[in-house]
Amino acid sequence: MRRPLIAANWKMNLNLPQMRDLVKAIADAILARKLSDACDVALCPPSIYLFPMAKAVQGTAIRIGAQNLFQEKNGAFTGELSAEMVHETGAVFCILGHSERRHTIAHLEDDWMINRKARACRRAGLTPILCVGETISQRLAGETLDVLTFQLTAALIDNRPQKPDDLVVAYEPVWAIGTGQNATPQQAQEAHAHLRNTLRTLIGTAADGVRILYGGSVKPDNAAAIFTQPDVDGGLIGGASLKAESFIGIISAAASH
Ligand code: PEP
């Protein structure tokens, strides 16, 4: 039985007082509604806020993650953060391979770089939230499942998780992120089942314990239908994680399945 995880990707949004208010509202709701009995929650702020957010969640059930890191341990890499530095803040997760880093931001990360970042996570004791997903042209060309196989397999070369908690996968169709156009529950389930089967060929039965999140325009009103799919184990939430009411609505949907 996999415990759902709802992870917030705040991207480059909010300021410190807004983040503190949001953490308090989320923590209060989790406590009042006993949501942590049935669901894990993580918040991924911009890196400069990792320390204050790790402090803000102390004594709550909320955990913290980074949005990115650099693969090397130390050295002349101006502006970058190592996995060890991220870990030292109190973060336990790190989003890797987000579509904005694969396709939008000038860095244009490829699968080899994402593999090295995933290995850096393992070295430092962080759990990667590994994002995979097809573009709209790949979907229209019927390539979705091949893209998912490739991205997942590439990230795990020489880097097999030893136990289910060593990895979280997030299926994030690129065409659904920030567009308001979510995948249907059936499309999500097809992709998630394929990812789990691919994981089984890579790591055996441990794949059955790995959480596979759906991400892409999840809102309180579509969350329940997606989260009830058998291979969907929660969500990676962008826009709707910036407001307490919508994020708490999504956590509640995950906790009630
Ligand atoms: C994301 O950026 O990971 C994401 C899922 O964004 P949104 O929920 O806004 O589509």
Each residue's pLDDT tens digit, 62-84: 999 999 999 999 999 999 999 99
Domain ranges of the chain: 5-255
| Stretch 90-108: mean pLDDT | 93
**Residue 114 pLDDT:** 98
Banded model confidence at residue 106, pLDDT cuts 50, 70, 90: confident
CA-CA distance, 137 to 143, in Å (whole number)?
9
Q: What is the pLDDT of residues 191-211, one digit of tens each?
A: 999 999 999 999 999 999 999
Catalytic, out of 100, 109, 134, 172: 172
Pick the CATH number of 5-255 from 3.40.50.2000, 3.40.50.1980, 2.60.120.10, 3.20.20.70: 3.20.20.70
For ligand 1, say whether the CB of 103 is within 6 Å of any of its atoms. Answer: no
Q: Which residues pair with 66 in a beta bridge?
A: 94
| 61-100 burial: b if 16+ Cβ within 10 Å, else e | bbbbbbbbbbbeeeeeeeeebbbebbbebebbbbbbbbbb
| Stretch 25-39: mean pLDDT | 97
Exposure of 66 in the CB half-sphere (CA atoms within 13 A): 29
With the most atoms of ligand 1 within 8 angstroms of its CB, the residue from 217, 232, 250, 251 to mutate is: 217
For ligand 1, say whether the CB of 152 is within 6 Å of any of its atoms. Answer: no
For ligand 1, say whether the CB of 172 is within 6 Å of any of its atoms. Answer: yes
| 98 noted as active-site residue | yes
| 172 noted as active-site residue | yes
**Residue 54 pLDDT:** 98
Q: Which residue has the tokens 């190592």?
A: 82
CA-CA distance, 115 to 111, in Å (whole number)?
6
Q: Look at residue 227 and tell me whether its pLDDT is greater than 80.
A: yes
Q: Look at residue 168 and tell me whether its pLDDT is greater than 80.
A: yes
